[in-house]
């Protein structure tokens, strides 16, 4: 067994190899910036399910969902007191 094969096998056995896909998270954040809070939350949740995220990306995505839920709650009650 050559050295490269051994390194690859050790990496796979270690579980540290991820085929991470954060494209749905990026699309979700674009919806955040556009003000589409419900759409952003849906894409961010889908990213968690389908993205095979690293622990760091999972934490960031969950944080972004929290930010979105906060902004969505503000957007749904604005203007305060019916604007008057």
Question: How far apart are the C-alpha atoms of 63 and 16, rounded to whole Å?
Answer: 23
**Closest listed residue to residue 65, CA positions, set 83, 44, 82, 49:** 44
Sole residue written with tokens 């957007």: 75
Per the domain annotation, does 15 fall within a domain? no
Label residue 77 by pLDDT band (50, 70, 90).
confident
Per the domain annotation, does 43 fall within a domain? yes
Per the domain annotation, does 6 fall within a domain? no
| Environment class of 41 (CB within 10 Å of its CB; exposed 0-12, middle 13-18, buried 19+) | buried
CB 61 within 8 A of CB 44: yes
- The pLDDT value given to residue 9: 44
Domain span including residue 70: 21-78
What pTM was computed for the model? 0.69
Per the domain annotation, does 29 fall within a domain? yes
Q: Decide if pLDDT at 19 tops 60.
A: yes
Q: Decide if pLDDT at 30 tops 80.
A: yes
Looking at the structure of the chain, the number of domains it has is 1
Q: Sign (positive/negative) of CA torsion 48, 53, 55, 59?
A: negative
């Amino acid at each position: 067994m050559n050295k490269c094969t051994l390194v690859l096998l050790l990496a796979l056995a270690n579980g540290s190899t991820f085929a991470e896909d954060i494209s749905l998270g990026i699309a979700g954040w674009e919806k955040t910036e556009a003000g589409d809070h419900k759409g952003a939350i849906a894409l961010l949740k889908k990213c968690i399910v389908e993205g095979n995220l690293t622990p760091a990306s999972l934490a960031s995505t969950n944080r972004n969902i929290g930010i979105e839920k906060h902004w969505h709650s503000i957007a749904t009650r604005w203007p305060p007191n019916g604007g008057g």
